[in-house]
Amino acid sequence: MSIFYGMHAASAAARANATAGEASRTARTTQTTVAELEQRLDRAMMACEAMWVMMRDKMGITDVELIDKINEIDLSDGQLDGKVRKTAVSCPKCRRTISRRHPRCMYCGQTIVHDPFA
Ligand SMILES: [Zn+2]
């Protein structure tokens, strides 16, 4: 092994070590983010269940009616797949297709009232 090759190999090993360290930090950050999201999802699920139990008990809505409504919403995008795809919306004034992310039409400035669940 030449001196040059040895130096090159040491440099490559140092870069690989730095890359591995960065990947490890990214993995830890991602694990923390996932754990936080799981906690938030658990709280949202509990709130949803509490609201459902109150509606069922106070209003007499049945579990079958809830399941039928969930399936109806699931099918609103044409597929019964456990997801509701967000589709583009049309501006009520100029009829151009616009993003759901913007509160106003980027073409005519019309204020857009988006469906909060879409
Ligand atoms: Zn418009």
Q: For residue range 45-61, what is the model confidence (pLDDT) as tens digits?
A: 999 999 999 999 999 99
Query: Within this chain, do residues 23 and 72 fall inside the same structural domain, yes or no?
Result: yes
Query: Within this chain, do residues 114 and 67 fall inside the same structural domain, yes or no?
Result: no
What are the helix (H) ranges across the chain?
A: 3-59, 63-74
Query: Within this chain, do residues 14 and 46 fall inside the same structural domain, yes or no?
Result: yes
* Predicted TM-score (pTM) of this structure: 0.60
Would you give the DSSP letter of residue 87? P
Rounded distance from Cα 74 to ligand 1 centre (Å): 29
Residue 67 CB: number of other CB atoms within 10 A? Answer: 10
**Structural domain for 55, as ranges:** 3-85
- Establish how many alpha carbons lie within 13 A of residue 24's alpha carbon, considering only the half-sphere containing its beta carbon: 6
Query: Within this chain, do residues 56 and 93 fall inside the same structural domain, yes or no?
Result: no
Average pLDDT over residues 4-13: 82
Query: Within this chain, do residues 33 and 81 fall inside the same structural domain, yes or no?
Result: yes
β-strand pairing of 97-98 with 89-90 = antiparallel
Rounded distance from Cα 88 to ligand 1 centre (Å): 13
- The predicted-structure confidence for 24-37, as pLDDT tens digits, reads as follows 999 999 999 999 99
Q: How far apart are CA 65 and CA 30, in angstroms?
A: 38
Count structural domains, the chain.
2
Query: Within this chain, do residues 92 and 34 fall inside the same structural domain, yes or no?
Result: no
Average pLDDT over residues 68-95: 89
Amino acid symbol at 109: G
Query: Within this chain, do residues 71 and 14 fall inside the same structural domain, yes or no?
Result: yes
Q: Are the CB atoms for 82 and 74 separated by under 8 Å?
A: yes
Query: Within this chain, do residues 47 and 94 fall inside the same structural domain, yes or no?
Result: no
Q: What is the pLDDT of residue 1?
A: 56
Average pLDDT over residues 65-84: 92
Rounded distance from Cα 87 to ligand 1 centre (Å): 17
